[in-house]
Amino acid sequence: MDQSCEKVLVRGNEAIAMGAIDAGCRLFFGYPITPQNEIPEYLSKHLPPLGGEFIQAESEIASINLLLGASATGSRAMTSSSSPGISLMQEGISYMAGSELPAVIINISRSGPGLGGISASQGDYFQATRGGGHGDYRVLVLAPSTVQEMYELTYLAFDLAEKYRNPVMILGDALLGQMKEPLIRKKPPPMDLPPKDWALTGAKGRKPNRIKSLYLQEGELTEHNWKLYKKYERMKQEEIRFEVIETEDAHLIIVAFGSMARVARSVVEMARREGVKVGLFRPITLFPYPEKPLREISRRVKHFLTVELNTGQMLEDVRLSVERDAEVYFYGKPPGALPTPEEILEQLKKYYGRSGSA
């Protein structure tokens, strides 16, 4: 059987590890934390036979800095963690954004604040999409919603990280990491990527390369920040990814990402069976946020229900995206049990009535 196209039943976390290996990632650094342990466990087994390196670091701070060092050589490298660990990594992520280093960071997030719990949550949305650490920077954030996507988006993350020389984060959660689904392990088509002439490989036959984020000369840092800004603007032009379901004739559209979008999908099916015309808008890139397509839809549809596993974070991006005369409602659940489709449908019907179509 063609190895590049096998079909397997795996957990989301394993799909991420497979995506990384298929993308050519041979270096992994991490520190144990639930609910992402299957990623380091899988890679500790599968990287060494491929000539790769696995380090169980002493902390997430060490992990992110090992990643910084490995990335600086132009090698494909990754770390994964869950919310508290991702908080510890923020300084390193800021340095990598400032030093323009590609890197892939997986956050199989859990609930907070503090030690919180290990249940699924989308409480890290702000941290992921607003930079997360100090300084005016962004990381590109991809939000898978199926096991297949966890594989494909991880693969894509390595390409995007190199395309932009910027960290890319996969934002999943406990539910996505732990659930099993069939995966078709087929590599996406290759991307044309710029040469890594910036990498530290030894100054042989060329001038020394310097990778740093310190800029002290007059005007240098201003210029550097504008350069980074342009990169984020380019991401907005070229990297927007989203999915729409039954939006064409919808009177109300649910906006949800990741595991919440899975529940929302069932809500749309149930509603449609009852003749309630709702659709789903699912952002796949959380930064850059699919503002334009959402605004486009809001010219026609005036009622949006944002559903999140938190008390309202992506809600802000939805409000910023839609036309001013559109109504944005919110149904959120802080960490604990996932809302059922029935529960959301009931909420939705309240607002659906207001859309004048009930």
Residues lying near another protein in the complex (CB under 8 A) are found at 27, 29, 53, 55, 57-59, 61-62, 65-73, 75, 77, 91-92, 95, 99, 200-205, 208-214
Cα 347 to Cα 19, 71, 112, 253: the distances in Å are: 37, 46, 25, 13
Residues 201, 199: Cα–Cα separation, whole Å: 6
Q: Which is nearer to another protein, 55 or 104 (CB)?
A: 55
Q: Which residues pair with 29 in a beta bridge?
A: 55, 79
Query: Is 208 exposed, middle or buried (CB count within 10 Å of its CB: 0-12, 13-18, 19+)?
Result: exposed
Query: What distance in Å separates the CA atoms of residue 67 and residue 131, rounded to the nearest whole number?
Result: 18
β-strand partners of 331? 307
Q: Residue 205 Cβ, how far from another protein at the closest point, in Å?
A: 8
Min dist CB 24 to another protein, Å, is 13
Which C-beta is closer to another protein: that of 3 or that of 217?
217
**Looking at beta carbons only, is 52 or 123 nearer to another protein?**
52
* Closer residue to another protein in complex, CB, 49/205: 205
CB 39 within 8 A of CB 13: yes
In the complex with another protein, the residue whose CB is nearer, 91 or 246, is 91
Rounded least distance, CB 84 to another protein, Å: 16
Q: What is the pairing mode between strands 103-109 and 167-173?
A: parallel
* Residue positions counted in the chain: 358
How many CB atoms are closer than 10 A to CB 242?
17
CB of 68 to another protein, least distance (A): 5
Nearer to another protein, 56 or 357 (CB): 56
The two beta strands, 167-173 and 180-186, are unpaired
Q: How far is Cα 343 from Cα 127, in angstroms, rounded to an integer?
A: 28
To another protein, the closest distance from the beta carbon of 163 in angstroms equals 20
Q: Least distance from C-beta 40 to another protein, angstroms?
A: 15
